[in-house]
Structure 1
């Protein structure tokens, strides 16, 4: 069986479990009229973990949404010392879920309001030529890596470091350092960068009306503030954030197990967004656009509503059934069971496949550390 057809162990409908699709309660939305063709479409990916935005277009509202966006000039920060762009029609996007411990994120992430920042969710999204399929490679935050020298957010130079956790790159030098570290690890140029923070993720889920999940076991994780009885739930933003952050409430308590939940949740969210359609309520439409544009930080090439709209339009044909989600091949560190190291030979199979716009072979992830996250089924 190829990696493209490997069953997801926690997504309903892809594990052999067949049930009718549940419809949301309330009035069914009518399809949009031709005069509303510039309505906003929102597609959400992640932890963390991926949100791709379309645009809405009228007057001062457009400029207000544009001003909501935060951008980072990755090209200027990294200069010419980068992998070469691949001209085969594919795209690579680094998606981060950040947990800045300041402002409204403090109560969500816990800890001191010290302004520090980490990236607890990291994914490389490879969109294949033709934009009909995608592969998503999750990078465990606890992976020990060699971090290259980076320019930090204040313009200072941070020296290279050996055997440090992957998520230290973002803490050390922000978005540009995270991109440089991923490019150093993979040899693949990141065409775009997309970041969503804790509070933004929570608000987006609430605006989208929640996400339905079914738990086969009780979940009680005081660290992620998630407490659910076994059964079917429509999770609000706070609960959804708790689910994608939970480690100790489900499975073996590992970061690798949490990644399984994140991947399943993203697939469910992508499916849900695809079935929402375009809103006919202008206020609801604007509220969603306002929330979404405040929630993300992008590279400067995506730093306008028009650019995001065009980018989203190129991705809207990708359904969850055409998303192959894997975890970067790793093995447990022999010196510390709470850390993992890259399984270099198998990881090379992943990176080579993406460079050449090919499916990731099943052999790339066979026999690698995966963690365990049983007890939750994400409805698709």
Structure 2
């Protein structure tokens, strides 16, 4: 039993596990320092003179330095995108970023404009009528330069009743040429010479009559023959302008500016304007170039105004705005085939040269006459004038030979 066991026996004796704690040991076996045997650390015996080594300092572990971290790469700045509502990846967006696209576009527009400007006269003038103008029989020999016979016909055949009322043209059966001019171009200044309608000439089989009647009696060839016989100047080209042509061309270029030397109130010509500088529309310009009954110089003043109208039209035709305005350019050339007639053999290039020459006239003259009736020419002054044109020496024409109304200075 447990109470009968020795207190400090070994295993199986005394108090359970007493042997583990030194119970029952002799005094020699007890630790001298009072500690339990189990509480002491056994010490290995040391040889005599042994000294423990000095403690060695523990060198701390050295960690190799880390390479520096690479600098962060900045994020690329995004390209500005297209405006809201537009696609930046579209075809036109890519094209518009290329300067060559702009250059090619501008060149294409310029090319199309040039083609249009050149093509319009060729298209519209292709329907213009051509008439025979060269007379039979002997004619002056070929001469230097080019001389055009310009005729303003008062024919109303192509005008409607409404147009005749608007332009105050009167009798639709009239076939007179109240406007007769010679335009000479060559090495010298261009000369525009008016021949008064009342000039008395020999019409051959038709007898002695006023020159404006030749057109009605023998047509253009008879008129050409009379002028060549009387002046010795060879006519190279022929251009005829109807009454409506003047009005249409003036309206097409937006009106013309004239400087009226006197007040004109002529109900027969349909004109009522004040004296001085002013802008005329087509109907007014036609009346301005036709009126002759209420002027001191009669027909001589009328032919001066005709040349003024021609020069004003030329200035407008060659103005940049007329050429650059497609609508105005079309209207101007559209008026040509209806009211303009050219002589046989006149090409479109010839017609263009004539139009250009009309805008570059340096000398404007009325045929030298003896008096205001303008029935007879002053041959003393007219002779040298004819010779200068025949020989293409227009630089030699004097102011006394070339006057505005044909009267000697």
Query: Of 308, 332, 336, which residue of structure 2 is paired with 1:288?
Result: 332
Equivalent residue, structure 2, for 1:38: 115
Aligned to 1:330: 369
Larger radius of gyration: 2
Residue 350 of structure 1 aligns to a residue in which SS? Answer: helix
Which runs of 5 or more residues in structure 2 are unaligned?
Answer: 1-108
- Distance in 1 (alpha carbons) for counterparts of 2:261 and 2:288: 14
After TM superposition, where is structure 1 displaced by more than 6 Å over at least 4 residues in a row?
none
Of 280, 285, 305 in structure 1, the residue corresponding to residue 348 of structure 2 is 305
TM-score after normalising by structure 1: 0.69
Q: Is the Cα–Cα contact under 8 Å of residues 322 and 328 in structure 2 kept in the other structure? A: no
Shift of 1:247: 1.6
Q: How does 1:52-201 map to 2 (within 5 A)?
A: 56-57=121-122, 62=123, 65-67=125-127, 69-75=128-134, 78-86=135-143, 88=144, 90-104=145-159, 106-107=164-165, 108=167, 110-113=169-172, 115-129=173-187, 133-148=189-204, 159-162=205-208, 164-201=209-246
- Give, in angstroms, the shift of residue 307 of structure 1: 4.2
How far apart, CA to CA, are the structure 1 residues paired with 2:139 and 2:113? Answer: 42
**Which residue is 2:253 aligned to?**
208
**Which is richer in helix?**
2
Cα RMSD over matched residues? Answer: 3.0
Gaps of 5+ in 1: 1-31, 42-53, 149-158, 373-380
Q: How much has 1:133 moved relative to structure 2?
A: 2.7
SS at match of 2:174: coil
1:120–1:167 CA contact under 8 A, matched in 2:
yes
In the superposition, relative to structure 1, how do residues 79 and 271 fare at CA in structure 2: closer, same or farther (>3 Å)? same
Instruction: Give 1:338 deviation, angstroms.
Output: 4.3
- For the residues of structure 2 that align with 1:165 and 1:254, how far apart are their CA atoms? 16
Greater displacement, 251-260 / 359-368: 359-368
Change over 3 Å in CA distance of 1:353–1:221 after alignment to 2: same
After superposition, the Cα gap between the structure-2 partners of 1:207 and 1:346, relative to the gap in structure 1 and judged at 3 Å, is same
Q: 1:319 maps to what in 2?
A: 360
- Between 1 and 2, higher relative CO (CA 8 Å, sep ≥ 6) is seen in 1
Under a length normalisation based on structure 2, what TM-score does the superposition of the two structures give? Answer: 0.65
Give SS of 1:37's match: helix
* CA offset digits 1:118-176 (Å, max 9, x no partner): 000111001023xx73011110000111123xxxxxxxxxx1412x1010111112212
Taking the aligned partners of 1:123 and 1:40, their CA distance within structure 2 comes to 29
- Judged with a 3 Å threshold, the aligned counterparts in structure 2 of structure 1 residues 207 and 341 are, in CA distance, closer, same or farther, namely same
